[in-house]
């Protein structure tokens, strides 16, 4: 029997386009034990993912993507990241939520939550630069928008804004910070380059 340390064990790469292969690529030269610690789970769990014995949940995929600084879309499905801006809105520090709490608080959107970070002061005093927000990516239908705070893409920019539907079939894009000017978008104009990324459902920040 050869004397091989656990960190030198190689994952099953029989499927070059499968998740275990992408996970190994994401890890690079990092050890199994060290990378698992960065992600917030045990090296035993990571080995199960590498061998294909277990499938990761969405929160686990988010943790791996942040630790490896890779696209969530590529990690989960092998899709190339086409939107460079989206990568800016992935919070890259290791940050773990207890799965049971997430399932209890967000039973209808648990598998579709995105963790991102506030980048400007337009929503102060409710949201400050550096605050973390959870976004329910199930809510993306422009025609079903109700009053609330959303992550949206407008042209080539990602914004977190308060949206309000008006009876004239327009959306009011509102900033809580009075220093930022509000504006409206006509929903009938499909060339307005507006797309909804999801609704903000939770916020966390430092005291």
Block mean pLDDT (10 aa), the chain, length 207: 39 60 88 87 88 84 84 74 42 59 83 85 92 86 82 85 84 92 79 80 80
Check if CATH label 3.40.190.10 holds for domain 99-204: no
pLDDT at 11: 40
Is the pTM above the cut of 0.85?
no
> So where are the chain's domains?
14-84, 99-204
CB 92 within 8 A of CB 98: no
* Encoded tokens for 116: 């991102």
Quote the tokens at residue 181. 């000017």
- Please give the CATH number for the structural domain made up of 14-84: 1.10.260.40
At 126-153, the pLDDT tens digits run 999 988 888 888 888 777 777 899 998 8
User: Both tokens of residue 115?
Assistant: 């963790």
Q: Do domains 14-84 and 99-204 have the same CATH topology?
A: no
């Amino acid at each position: 029997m050869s004397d091989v340390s656990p960190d030198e064990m190689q994952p099953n790469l029989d499927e070059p386009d499968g998740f275990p292969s992408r996970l190994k690529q994401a890890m690079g030269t990092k050890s199994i034990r060290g990378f698992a610690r960065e992600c917030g789970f045990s090296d035993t769990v990571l080995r199960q993912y590498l061998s294909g014995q277990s499938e990761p949940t969405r929160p686990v995929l988010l943790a791996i993507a942040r630790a490896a600084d890779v696209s969530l879309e590529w990690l989960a499905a092998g899709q190339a990241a086409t939107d460079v801006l989206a990568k800016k809105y992935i919070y890259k520090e290791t940050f773990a939520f207890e799965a049971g709490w997430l399932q209890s608080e967000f039973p209808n959107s648990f598998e579709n939550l995105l963790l991102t970070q506030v980048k400007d002061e337009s929503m102060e005093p409710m949201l400050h630069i550096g605050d973390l927000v959870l976004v329910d990516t199930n809510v993306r239908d422009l025609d079903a928008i109700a009053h609330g705070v959303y992550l949206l893409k407008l042209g080539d920019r990602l914004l977190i804004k308060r949206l309000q539907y008006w009876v004239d079939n327009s959306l009011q894009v509102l900033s809580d910070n009075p220093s930022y000017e509000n504006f409206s978008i006509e929903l009938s104009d499909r060339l307005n380059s507006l797309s909804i990324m999801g609704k903000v459902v939770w916020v966390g920040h430092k005291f």
